[in-house]
Amino acid sequence: MSKIHNFSAGPSILNQDVLKKASEAVVNFNNLNLSILEISHRSKDFVAVMDNAVALVKELLEVPQGYSVLFLQGGASTGFLKTILNFMKENGNGAYLNTGAWSKKALKEAEKLGSLTVVASSEDKNFNYIPKGFSVPDNTDYLHITTNNTIFGTQIKNIPTQENTLLIADMSSDIFSRKINVSDYAMIYAGAQKNMGPAGTTLYIVKDELLGNTGRTIPTMLDLTTHITKGSMFNTPPVYPIYVSMLTLEWLKANGGIEWIEKINQEKADLLYNEIDSNPLFEGTAAKEDRSNMNVTFVLTDESKKAVFDSMWKEVGISGINGHRDVGGYRASIYNAMPIESIQVLVDTMKKLIN
């Protein structure tokens, strides 16, 4: 089978060794002659998976004492609601940095349950930059940010911490890609389907002492305390996505952890951005200082070349590179599992277009 270079924005590429182990477990997990899809989530074999996944998150991200790690259902979109219900006081206010489609959806959910303040927005330039120099009003319960914007190709490089303001971050598309200081955050949440595993589970890292202070009556499934008390097993957890996420975190640890992958990710991004900047037929869409290391967005400067270029990249086995309709052009998603060799294939194809 010929090599496919998968630049999909998500569900995204997974490491090949992880895929092999995951596929074997579908047939026979832990030599039980049972599939990972069949075993009880209360069995010692799966409890060990959950415990290991949680421990790996804590180790790789250096999660401090006083934080809980959860693997839950509902996607990051449910995280929008969990943020409000668990951190916005009754008659309170949430502050939001609006940097793209997902942050915009998060603040729209906030409007349904409370009041909000948009402290800054890049919508005036179709979200092609990250606002800077803004301040958060004193009467807000938290500041919500989306650290990486998959559609528009921007990433927050300098995290906007502010004294006496709780910081909550949707890190769905750059979790585990670079070092972070977990103690800066009240809560981090991230869908698995970019850098961890298949869609179906969402990672939460939450500071325990900040919960239970809103004065709200929170529906059971949306109350983070419910899931902390039950160790992510209040209801049947998404067993397979958690297992694959565990395998991915084991792969990451075995190769050198966050420090290793951050260096690799920078090398991959530099390779592609250097070609975009040096090749007159291509142009990046995001402000250079805010360019994402996970989602590289670019357009042709000569649209008459589109049919030829599309034919060229398809011929070499490139997949999932078409840009989102809100930006157009192309989007190369280069998450942790994307090998630099695949990026070189794309760069070589871009070079050939000009010759």
Among all residues, which ones are annotated catalytic? 102, 170, 194
The answer to whether 150 touches 169, Cβ cutoff 8 Å, is: no
The answer to whether 244 touches 197, Cβ cutoff 8 Å, is: yes
What's the angle, vertex CA 79, arms to CA 189 and CA 145, rounded to 5? 60
What DSSP string describes 58-74?
HHHTTPPTTEEEEEESS
Sole residue written with tokens 């421990």: 55
Bridging pattern class, strands 318-319 and 5-6:
parallel
In whole angstroms, give the CA distance from residue 168 to residue 210.
Answer: 12
How many helices (H) and strands (E) are present in the chain, helices listed first?
9, 14
Per-residue DSSP letter, 37: T
Beta strands in the chain (DSSP E): 5-6, 67-72, 93-98, 115-121, 142-146, 148-149, 154-155, 167-170, 187-191, 202-207, 282-284, 295-300, 318-319, 330-333
Best CA proximity match to 209, nearest among 224, 194, 231 = 224
In whole angstroms, give the CA distance from residue 186 to residue 349.
Answer: 44
Is the bond leading into 11 cis (omega within 30 degrees of zero)?
yes
Rg (CA), the chain: 21
Cβ neighbours for 225, distance < 8 A, ≥ 6 positions apart? 211, 212
